[in-house]
Amino acid sequence: MPRSGGAVIPMKDEVVILAGVRQPEKEPWEPFAAPVLDFLEQLSREIRRERRKYEQLAAFGFWCRRSHMEEFRKRYEDGRSRLGRGVVFHITASNVPVLFGYSLVMGLLAGNSCSVRISSKSREQDQILCRIMDRILTRPEYKGIRRRISVFSCQRYSLAVREALSDCAGCVVWGGDRTIMEIRCMRIRPDAVQLNFPDRYSICILDTLQLGNITEEELKNLAHRFYNDTYLLDQNACSSPAIVIWNQEEESKEAENARVRWWNAVDEEARSYDLTAHKAMAKYELLCRYAMTLDVETKISCYGNRLYTMELGDIPSDIDQLRGAFGMFFEYRGDWRKALTHLASGRLQTITYHGIEEQKIVDFVIKNHLFGVHRIVPAGRAAVMDPVWDGHDFIAVLSRQIGREAQDAFV
Amino acid sequence: MTNLEKYDQLFIKDLRVKKEDLEDLKYRGISTWDSMGHMDLVTDLEEVFDIHFNTADVMNFSSYEKGKEVMKKYGVMI
Amino acid sequence: MMIGEMSEEKGKIDMDYEMILARKPYSLCRAEKRELFGDWLTELTEYHRQHCPPYEKLLKALEIPSGRSMEEEDIPMLPIGLFKSMELMSVHPGHIFKTMTSSGTKGQEVSKVFLDTDTARYQQLALAGIGEDFFGDQRLPLLVIDSPDVLKDRKMFSARGAGILGFSIFSSHICYALTSDMELDTEAVEGFLKRYKDTRVLVFGFTYIIWKYFYEALAIQGKKLELDNAVLVHGGGWKKLISQSVSSDEFKKRIYSVTGISRIHNYYGMAEQTGCIYMECPCGNLHASVYSDIITRRAADFTPCEYGEKGIIQILSPLPRSYPGHSILTEDEGIIIGEDDCLCGRLGKYFKVTGRIKHAPVRGCSDTYEG
């Protein structure tokens, strides 16, 4: 196996197995099967033992702890009869640490065998996760589950990808759009299901006066969670808000103070952000370009280079194209309903909120027949992975439900 | 062991603090109660008391005292 | 504004240009330069505000008021990447005389810099002034280490072409050392050497091209040229050579071994501010001339660095009038060593370039299905 500085780089058409087996078995299992939950429990424990300093890996380990997986299981105890589909093939973006882990877990929980292709340029945390998984899987008590997992790396257009794709009962592809379109052009079984996660963007709605009234401590915690939603993934994750909607009827000194207080708190949290020269440059360029090209008036506020905000005087014609990065936020003041009507193209994924009733947002989306808004969660939870993600139910799509008149009609 | 003793012990073990410091302990108030320490603490509390916090409560668990209220919600009286 | 006032205004600015272009390039001390550049760049910022609508929008968003006099450090900076994604000009498109592009690698977006006759002339004069300081006012025979094809399109040309053209103008005879296929034109070079055997000559080219198509070709052929009387000037960045682990010293040593040239000057400069290049003096330092200045800035908040502290390089020059490129934040990092006190005797800031900003991997879920 060719190695270069610790990272394994496959040659053309070569496949490097990072965890599990080369060819996973095809047999479908029932969702939330005991061996799967046992394996995830062990995985969670072992990640906890050696994950110091790896924030995303630690969060993944915490996420797949037994009690949390059991909670997912309970959600699907609805008397319906489900079984997995076979082998589900996953292709994940390499610049979200341990994303492949979440995708794999969803496939396993739904009752499938999983093969996962990860980039040979995968990051340190991905490599560690593979190592821990493989170590567990080689133990005799995990022999059964080992046959159902294959994590490998190979070149982008290698034979292995085409084969895995043409054989699988389902595939899960994590964006960008270009990747998804490329994969869609490849050969795939007619009955295979596809879950695609294309480019998305997200927003945050904050109620100005409500935010002005929370205690210093609450403010600090909320700002910290907002930091986790955004800076932790360089504000480049689909779920990271790019725009903050300040819900307020009219402008007042009080409202202005509330906003300033909020950004100061975010700036304080952003002190722990690793702002490299490259990020600072890229962010400044983004800021200047938007200021020079948007068709509305803008006002920039800079908190050092850690935090930039750009106030929008009005709703620009292409508001759904705005993207932040590395801690750069657009701000709009006014009624959230008015803003949302313009913002909710199909690409709008997550609304995080504070001081607004969740149900009101849901009702508004439904009543107005909006294309976008696939998730609504409190501020601070933008990145928490759930079986229902981006408008899809992983478990429902990746398993098949055995239709039975008696149960389905009357449960 | 009483629930309080179990509760305290997990704080002492996971956050590496002394018993006398427990009262005023707040999330992110000390270096060991960071996001890592928090995850350890929550995982252990769930295991020892056989409960599962929902995500909102993982976040609501913001101090030693506040934690007691959260535990109560899951039927554990500290 | 009345027409009379306007021409008076323009007249004053023109005078400034003639005045500065008539000066020796390393003759302004710190206090004089600060005053001159503060005033001039403030004025120029106003000029671009009035003539380049996107630039005006940026200043408005940044809430930079009109009519406030600024120090050099306060002049707003445009990130260099904007010249790639936008077409920025402060003159009517009909007055564009030349469009210059940066020498990007294949497939990369290139910068587009729009020059009118005035700006092109200022930049040409600045380069000539700097050249004169280093090589004297005699026009020297020039050996260009490149292919004549680079200059084919005169309307739209690259930084490589601009460099060659800039140096050509104050040279007496030009010879291209490479063929259209980028191969060493042995016949032409030998003819040049024979003709100017005992004269001082200038050799000019881009660092990487000199290395790859000149040095390596000579080394492989085991050839040594008699260029002991030559001065070599090269620029365009070390990026490609650093990846091949060729240092500045190594470069000089190797070039000497195949040509006998001992006077070798690197320079720092870019398409977005041509003309006012930063030449390396015999002490090995790059020098800011009276035509431009340099500030290094901290990544954390863009505050200016101390001397000796590494930072992102900002370049300032009053020469760009036809496009708002008078204050540019580059993607290079460097260290300003001092001002007015280099041992070579030149006034102005002197510095070193440490390289391009390192591109750290960025997180997020955009397209990254990589190999």
Interface of A with B in 267-296 (CB under 8 A): none
Containing structural domain, residue C317: 4-115+270-356
Shared-domain flag, residues C219 and C233: yes
* C-beta of residue C237 within 8 angstroms of C-beta of residue C253: no
> What's the pLDDT band for C17 if we cut at 50, 70, 90?
confident
What domains are there in chain A, each with its CATH number? 3-199+392-402 (3.40.605.10), 201-389 (3.40.309.10)
Shared-domain flag, residues C250 and C279: no
Q: Which of C241, C268, C295 is the last residue of a domain?
A: C268
Q: What is the mean pLDDT of residues A161-186?
A: 92
pLDDT of residue C148: 87
Q: How confident is the model over B1-32, as pLDDT tens digits?
A: 899 999 999 999 999 999 999 999 999 899 99
DSSP state of A11: P
Query: Considering the domain boundaries, does residue C361 fall inside one?
Result: no
> What's the pLDDT band for C168 if we cut at 50, 70, 90?
confident
What single string gives the DSSP state of each residue in A80-96?
A: -EEEE-SEEEEE--TTS
The helix-helix angle for C30-51 and C3-22 (nearest 10°) equals 140
Query: Considering the domain boundaries, does residue C282 fall inside one?
Result: yes
Q: Which of C222, C237, C268 is the last residue of a domain?
A: C268
pLDDT at C3 over 70: no
Q: What tokens does A338 get?
A: 């008015």
Burial of C86 (0-12, 13-18, 19+ CB in 10 A): middle
Query: Considering the domain boundaries, does residue C55 fall inside one?
Result: yes
Dist CA A287 CA A300 (whole Å): 8
Shared-domain flag, residues C99 and C17: yes
Q: Which of C211, C240, C268 is the last residue of a domain?
A: C268
Query: Considering the domain boundaries, does residue B78 fall inside one?
Result: no
CA atoms C299, C300, C302, C303: torsion sign? negative
Contacts of C225 (CB under 8 A, 6+ apart): C189, C193, C218, C258, C259, C260
CA atoms within 13 A on the CB side of C140: 24
pLDDT at A85 over 90: yes
Q: What is the mean pLDDT of residues C332-345?
A: 96
Query: Considering the domain boundaries, does residue C205 fall inside one?
Result: yes
The partner residue sitting opposite B39, judged by closest CB among A62, A70, A217, is A62
Q: How confident is the model over A302-329, as pLDDT tens digits?
A: 999 999 999 999 999 888 889 999 999 9
> What's the pLDDT band for C138 if we cut at 50, 70, 90?
confident
Dist CA A297 CA A313 (whole Å): 5
Q: What is the mean pLDDT of residues C329-339?
A: 96
Shared-domain flag, residues C258 and C313: no
Containing structural domain, residue B24: 3-73
Shared-domain flag, residues C203 and C230: yes
Q: What is the mean pLDDT of residues C275-289?
A: 95
**Total structural domains in chain C?**
2
Q: Do B28 and A59 lie within an 8 Å CB cutoff?
A: no
Distance of CA C335 to the CA centre of its chain: 17
Indicate which CATH number applies to the domain containing B9: 1.10.1200.10
Query: Considering the domain boundaries, does residue C370 fall inside one?
Result: no
**Total structural domains in chain B?**
1
Q: How confident is the model over A206-222, as pLDDT tens digits?
A: 999 999 999 999 999 99
pLDDT of residue C18: 85
Indicate which CATH number applies to the domain containing C91: 3.40.50.12780
Shared-domain flag, residues C174 and C143: yes
Q: Strand pairing of C230-235 and C263-270?
A: parallel
ipTM confidence: 0.90
Nearest CA in chain A to B35: A55
Q: How confident is the model over A129-146, as pLDDT tens digits?
A: 999 999 999 999 999 999
Give the residue from C312, C359, C365 with the most A CB atoms within 10 Å of its CB, the best one to mutate: C365
Shared-domain flag, residues C150 and C264: yes
Interface of B with A in 54-73 (CB under 8 A): 54-56, 59, 62
Dist CA A378 CA A350 (whole Å): 10
User: Chain A residues with CB inside 8 Å of B28's CB?
Assistant: 220-221, 224
**With an 8 Å Cβ cutoff, is A292 touching chain C?**
yes
